[in-house]
């Protein structure tokens, strides 16, 4: 739906790809923005900002990082969220944050790193969730920035042949917004004060989730000469991205009569985590990153083919 050149500012990308999803989250919709593309094409830069500017622990350093012109989707989303609540929010809000990484097909908590993988569970009412994940209540953009920076520092990264700071895991930063709003008083004959719809009005609770996803990049490990841990990481990254492509291909196929097709969400923990974002109850946008390097031409073309399939998917978002 849009193309940005090398000279495009982070703000331009945010306004087009993420700002509408953050606004939808405040209206009660689940929303997802995820960055996809080959290794070294700028996904983490888009999500956070330049890796070399990631601050050490400290309030002043974090503020400078998150308010700079180079700040990425996550700091800007936090700013928009709290500004909207402060300027036009009616009712009471609770905002919580969690941050996880999927490293070699195991889920780890980035806000409380214990080194112990967490289990993925499924509940008929709650859907797919990570058991034991840390959720932190936040009251300001600066608290969100600090958690994002802290989690990113704990994320698995390494130097590779094409990237000095390559993400070796998929990362999902989630903001949960609960908003309680009073309904107008509907006091009438036969109704006692305190009943639903009675004196003082009832209440409505909206619960929405905003997922900001930084996917690890696909890699041609054999061509890069990767060995040992780097090779095993690449295998797991490519395996989960292949499962994602398979889900996208199934969802984008035109549906005829008869039974709906089986969507292979269970082939990977990544697709299970993003199940609602792909063809489910969510408003989703994708930022596809490609590289101007001639050696990345094949990867850039495959990324664009992937996104053309993604545009054919229709989600079914509703207010929660």
Binding residue ranges for ATP: 37-44
CB neighbours of residue 187 within 10 Å? 13
CB neighbours of residue 85 within 10 Å? 16
Q: 168 with 216: CB under 8 angstroms?
A: yes
CA–CA distance from 175 to each of 109, 132, 160, 164 (Å)? 15, 16, 31, 29
CA distance 196 to 203: 8
Q: Tell whether the torsion through CA atoms of 42, 44, 45 and 51 is positive or negative.
A: negative
CA distance 81 to 84: 5
Q: 240 with 265: CB under 8 angstroms?
A: no
What is the per-residue DSSP string for 189-256? TT--TTSTTSTT--EEEEEEEEEEEEPPPB--HHHHT--HHHHHHHHHHHHHHHHHHHHHHHHHSPP-
Q: State both tokens at 285.
A: 């946008």
Residues belonging to the binding site are 37-44
List b or e across 289-316, with b for residues whose CB sees 16 or more CB atoms inside 10 angstroms.
bbbeeeebeebbeebeebbeebeebebe
- Among all chains, which residue has been given the structure tokens 């058991």? 131
Point out which residues pair with 32 in neighbouring strands. 211, 284
């Amino acid at each position: 739906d849009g193309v940005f050149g090398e000279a495009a500012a982070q703000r331009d990308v945010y306004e087009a790809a993420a700002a509408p999803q953050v606004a939808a989250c405040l209206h009660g919709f689940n929303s997802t923005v995820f960055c996809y593309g080959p290794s070294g094409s700028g996904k983490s830069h888009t999500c956070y900002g330049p890796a070399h500017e990631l601050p050490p622990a400290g309030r002043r350093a974090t503020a400078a990082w998150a308010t700079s012109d180079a700040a990425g989707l996550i700091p800007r989303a936090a700013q928009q969220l709290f500004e909207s609540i402060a300027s036009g929010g009616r009712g009471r809000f609770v905002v919580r944050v969690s941050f996880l990484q999927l490293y070699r097909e195991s889920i780890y908590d980035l806000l409380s790193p214990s080194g112990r993988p967490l289990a993925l569970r499924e509940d008929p009412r709650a859907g797919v969730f990570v058991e034991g994940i840390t959720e932190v209540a936040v009251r300001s953009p600066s608290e969100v920035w600090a958690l994002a920076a802290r989690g990113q520092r704990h994320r698995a990264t390494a130097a590779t042949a094409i990237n000095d700071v390559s993400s070796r895991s998929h990362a999902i930063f989630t903001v949960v917004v609960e908003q309680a709003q009073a309904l107008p008083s509907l006091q009438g004959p036969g109704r006692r004060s305190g009943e639903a719809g009675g004196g003082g009005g009832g209440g409505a609770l909206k619960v929405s989730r905003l997922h900001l996803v930084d996917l690890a990049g696909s890699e041609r490990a054999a061509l890069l000469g990767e060995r040992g841990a780097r090779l095993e990481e690449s295998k797991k990254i490519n395996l989960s991205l292949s499962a994602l492509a398979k889900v996208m291909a199934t969802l984008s196929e035109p549906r005829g009569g008869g039974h709906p097709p089986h969507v292979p969400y269970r082939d990977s923990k990544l697709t299970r985590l993003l199940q609602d974002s792909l063809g489910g109850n969510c408003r989703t946008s994708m930022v596809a990153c490609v590289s101007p390097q001639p050696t990345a031409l094949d990867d850039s073309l495959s990324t664009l083919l992937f996104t053309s399939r993604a545009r054919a998917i229709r989600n079914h978002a509703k207010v929660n």
